[in-house]
Structure 1
């Protein structure tokens, strides 16, 4: 007589689920003690927070920005964006995207890093989806 195997049921035990959840906050973590806060401005941001952005056209020209001084296309898929302050200790976020509000952006990839030798600058590289350098318009945010 052939063996009959039982279908395995998913493990729904409480122990399994608790292993993937965060542990509860205790002590000063739960109370929010010992947290040094920076007083907020009238706009709600800490006085030390700086958020700058640039929207850059495919040809490297600056479409618009806040705190952005200039942008330039250096080579195919390579751009430099310069801001009003030193951004060497900042965080950068960039995404491929059209500068306007109409149409769809061609797909691609993007990478961003501080600009070597330019403390106020950011270096952006863009590629098509096949990994070949390609000119793409993009949105760049700098958090300081």
Structure 2
């Protein structure tokens, strides 16, 4: 962007001393690799029919109904972040457009509930990739 551009760029404000104190008081030290020693990453690749294609730390996956899935991991994931995207399990082709939503599985601390939709917003069976960051 040139200096003559009329676009304004939002600059980050400096954190206050209180914000710095709060952030460093609860800091978990990183390992040599940069991750805190308590960090865990799990993932699953699930076929449109609910079968598990592959994963890490995943115990099972099932299709609960049209576009609705349950994925169970080996650890409690209730305080984790979930990331998902539609995508085939293989390495050929491109998945159709659509949407995916993720949330912890009600009543199952080790589970994640996933829904997949087509571009019209209709529940549709779709393969997906799911990441769990703890």
TM bucket, shorter chain: 0.7 to 0.9
**Match of residue 65, structure 2, among 70, 75, 95:** 75
- Is 1:135 aligned to residue 125 of structure 2? yes
Query: Any unmatched runs of 5+ in structure 2?
Result: none
1:125 equivalenced with 2:115 (yes/no): yes
Q: CA deviation at 1:60?
A: 0.4
Deviation, 1:40, is 3.4
Distance 2:14 2:72 in 1: 44
Q: State the distance in 2 between where 1:76 and 1:34 align.
A: 46
CA distance in 1, matches of 2:122, 2:51: 21
The answer to whether structure 1 residue 55 and structure 2 residue 45 are counterparts is yes
1:98 aligns with 2:88: yes
Larger radius of gyration: 1
- Report how many aligned residue pairs link the two structures: 130
Contact in 2 for aligned 1:81/1:121 (Cα 8 Å): yes
The alpha-carbon deviation at position 48 of structure 1 amounts to 0.7
TM-score, length of structure 1 as denominator length: 0.78
Q: Which residue of 1 aligns with 2:98?
A: 108
Counterpart Cα distance in 1 of 2:87 and 2:110: 23
RMSD: 2.7
Structure 1: gaps spanning 5 or more residues = 1-9
